[in-house]
């Protein structure tokens, strides 16, 4: 009985005290904050005496960084707030990339900003500008021109150029820019070393970034499969789909490492054509299954690598679509094949809409509406910007195109700008 009573007494007195001490120890341990090699505490452990620390040296725990998903949701919400603050016409303007002079009344290339262009950017805040060789002056002059354009734009501009390397390289071939020149991408592709292509992208990306460009209409993802092809030719990395896929992707990654947006072109493949879409109609008679086995492989590789932008070509594909429209204007091809079947979710841009194959068949008002219905996000170089813009505005007002469809493009455009230009961190009034 004595032993039983003492055990009961122990349970009632000693055990609670031990539990209390254990809790105190745990609390003391949890209160520790490690700063460098110094351990500091706001509580005193009965078992592990700690040095006395002035209150000014006790730091609160650092806040946990946002998870990628939370940060993505926060940015998406800010982008939607930005879109909500825009008028319909402002939204539509973001879907255009023009020559700088198209913001005014000049019909020849300009190399400096003027009051007319400033007012044009305020009245019609386009998504971006593209520089031709004629828009390039000196290295310092070009950089200053681009800075001036950006300073006048509420939302940072895409500033684009065709700098593929080889015969299509506006800066390298201008004579005023002392940058590395390449004979052709076909020569680069002969090595079959993707590292060589990555170095090309890094080199071009470095000098484009230096002179304030942020978008390069490269790489060429077309396969040089037709010896009669003159429009692509040695702009391609070769005749083998695997080589072209690897080299094009590597150039894109090299450009991206220097903060330059790349654009894979010309979907669904311009390499097996004898005609030039700059001068007339171009037709490819292959079926979709045939294209998937060859021409589409570089684009599929790019899509699987989550590429940022794809340029649609002005190619008719009568054995793929039933709408009789070139790829740039075909909803069957862009929405149906590229987005739905191949799973592409990035920005779609048209090839230059001022090219003869389009201009000879459609008015600026017609091709602007058709391109957006088809799924294009950005319209490149319409010959009459005002007519194209007015037509899109009317199409939305008449219900032919929903405003939600426009906002879908705006989300993709502004998300891409945020990714490379951080447009949400420095809003302009």
pLDDT digits (tens, 9 = 90+) for 7-48: 344 344 444 455 555 545 454 454 444 333 443 333 444 434
Tokens of 131: 């520089």
Task: Please calculate the CA angle 405-407-411 and round it to the nearest 5 degrees.
Answer: 125
Rounded Cα distance between 302 and 239, Å, is 18
Q: Render pLDDT for 151-167 as a digit per residue (tens, 0 to 9).
A: 999 999 999 999 999 99
pLDDT score at 68: 74
Residue 169 has pLDDT above 60, yes or no: yes
pLDDT score at 277: 62
Q: Render pLDDT for 194-224 as a digit per residue (tens, 0 to 9).
A: 999 999 999 999 999 999 999 999 999 999 9
* pLDDT grade for 274, boundaries at 50, 70 and 90: low
pLDDT score at 112: 97
Give the phi and the psi of residue 161 in degrees, each rounded to 5. -160, 155
Radius of gyration from C-alpha coordinates of the chain: 30
Which of 66-75, 253-262, 377-386, 411-420 is predicted with the least confidence, judged by mean pLDDT? 66-75
What is the mean pLDDT of the segment spanning 256-261? 98
Beta bridge partners of 348: 310
Tokens of 393: 């505005």
Residue with the bigger pLDDT between 119 and 37: it is 119
Tokens of 127: 């998504």
pLDDT score at 404: 98
Q: Which of 412, 419, 425 is nearest to 94 (CA)?
A: 412
pLDDT score at 176: 95
Rounded Cα distance between 93 and 390, Å, is 10
Rounded Cα distance between 351 and 347, Å, is 13
CA torsion through residues 365, 273, 97, 132, sign: negative
Whole-structure pTM value: 0.83
* pLDDT grade for 281, boundaries at 50, 70 and 90: confident
pLDDT score at 388: 98
pLDDT score at 270: 85
* pLDDT grade for 227, boundaries at 50, 70 and 90: confident
Rounded Cα distance between 194 and 32, Å, is 51
Cβ count near 302 (within 10 Å): 25
Where in the sequence numbering do the catalytic residues fall? Answer: 278, 351
* pLDDT grade for 265, boundaries at 50, 70 and 90: very high
What is the mean pLDDT of the segment spanning 155-180? 97
Residue 6 has pLDDT above 70, yes or no: no
Residue 2 has pLDDT above 90, yes or no: no
* pLDDT grade for 263, boundaries at 50, 70 and 90: very high
What is the mean pLDDT of the segment spanning 141-155? 98
pLDDT score at 48: 43
Residue 234 has pLDDT above 60, yes or no: yes
Helices 241-257 and 297-304: crossing angle in degrees, nearest 10, is 40
pLDDT score at 333: 98
Residue with the bigger pLDDT between 331 and 274: it is 331
pLDDT score at 5: 41
Q: Which of 125, 122, 120, 117 is nearest to 92 (CA)?
A: 125
pLDDT score at 366: 98
Residue 52 has pLDDT above 90, yes or no: no
Say which residue the tokens 């460098």 belong to.
36
CB-based contacts of 340, cutoff 8 Å, min separation 6: none
Rounded Cα distance between 162 and 171, Å, is 9
* Structural domains of the chain sorted by starting position, each given as residue range(s) with its CATH number in brackets: 2-57 (no CATH), 68-421 (3.20.20.300)
pLDDT score at 429: 52
Rounded Cα distance between 299 and 69, Å, is 27
pLDDT score at 11: 43
What is the mean pLDDT of the segment spanning 375-398? 98
Residue with the bigger pLDDT between 270 and 155: it is 155
Give the phi and the psi of residue 46 in degrees, each rounded to 5. -70, -15
* pLDDT grade for 262, boundaries at 50, 70 and 90: very high
């Amino acid at each position: 009985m004595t032993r039983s009573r003492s055990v009961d007494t122990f349970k009632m007195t000693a055990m609670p005290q031990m539990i209390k001490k254990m809790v105190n120890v745990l609390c003391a341990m949890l209160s520790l904050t490690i700063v460098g090699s110094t351990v500091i505490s706001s509580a005193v452990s009965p078992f592990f005496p700690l040095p006395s620390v002035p209150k000014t040296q006790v730091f609160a725990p650092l806040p946990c960084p946002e998870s990628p998903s939370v940060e993505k949701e926060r940015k998406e919400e800010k982008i939607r707030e930005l879109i909500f603050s825009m008028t319909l016409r402002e939204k539509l303007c973001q879907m255009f990339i023009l020559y700088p002079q198209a913001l005014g009344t000049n019909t020849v290339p300009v190399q400096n900003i003027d009051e007319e262009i400033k007012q044009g950017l305020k009245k019609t805040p386009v998504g971006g500008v593209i520089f031709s060789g004629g828009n390039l002056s000196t290295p310092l002059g070009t950089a200053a021109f681009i800075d001036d354009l950006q300073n006048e734009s509420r939302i940072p501009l895409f500033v684009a150029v065709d700098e593929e390397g080889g015969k299509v390289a506006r800066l390298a071939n201008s004579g005023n820019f002392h940058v590395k020149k390449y004979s052709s991408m076909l020569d680069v592709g002969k090595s079959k070393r993707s590292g060589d292509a990555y170095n090309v992208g890094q080199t071009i990306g470095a000098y484009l970034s230096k002179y304030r460009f942020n978008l390069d209409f490269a790489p060429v993802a077309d396969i040089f499969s037709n010896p009669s092809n003159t429009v692509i030719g040695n702009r391609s990395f070769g005749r083998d789909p695997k080589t072209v896929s690897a080299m094009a992707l590597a150039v894109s990654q090299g450009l991206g490492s220097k903060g330059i947006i790349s654009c894979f072109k010309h979907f669904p493949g311009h390499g097996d054509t004898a005609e030039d879409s700059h001068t007339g109609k171009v037709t490819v008679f292959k079926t979709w299954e045939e294209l998937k086995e060859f021409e589409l492989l570089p684009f599929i590789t790019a899509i699987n690598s989550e590429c940022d932008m794809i340029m649609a070509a002005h190619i008719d594909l009568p054995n793929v679509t039933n709408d009789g429209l070139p790829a740039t204007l075909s909803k069957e091809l862009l929405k149906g094949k590229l987005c739905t079947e191949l799973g592409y979710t990035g920005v779609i841009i048209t090839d230059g809409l001022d090219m003869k194959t389009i201009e000879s068949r459609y008015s600026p008002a017609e091709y602007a509406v058709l391109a957006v219905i088809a799924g294009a996000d950005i319209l490149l170089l319409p010959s009459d910007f005002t007519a194209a813009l007015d037509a899109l505005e009317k199409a939305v007002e008449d219900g032919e195109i929903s405003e939600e469809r426009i906002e879908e493009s705006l989300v993709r455009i502004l998300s891409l700008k945020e990714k490379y230009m951080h447009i949400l961190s420095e809003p302009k009034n």
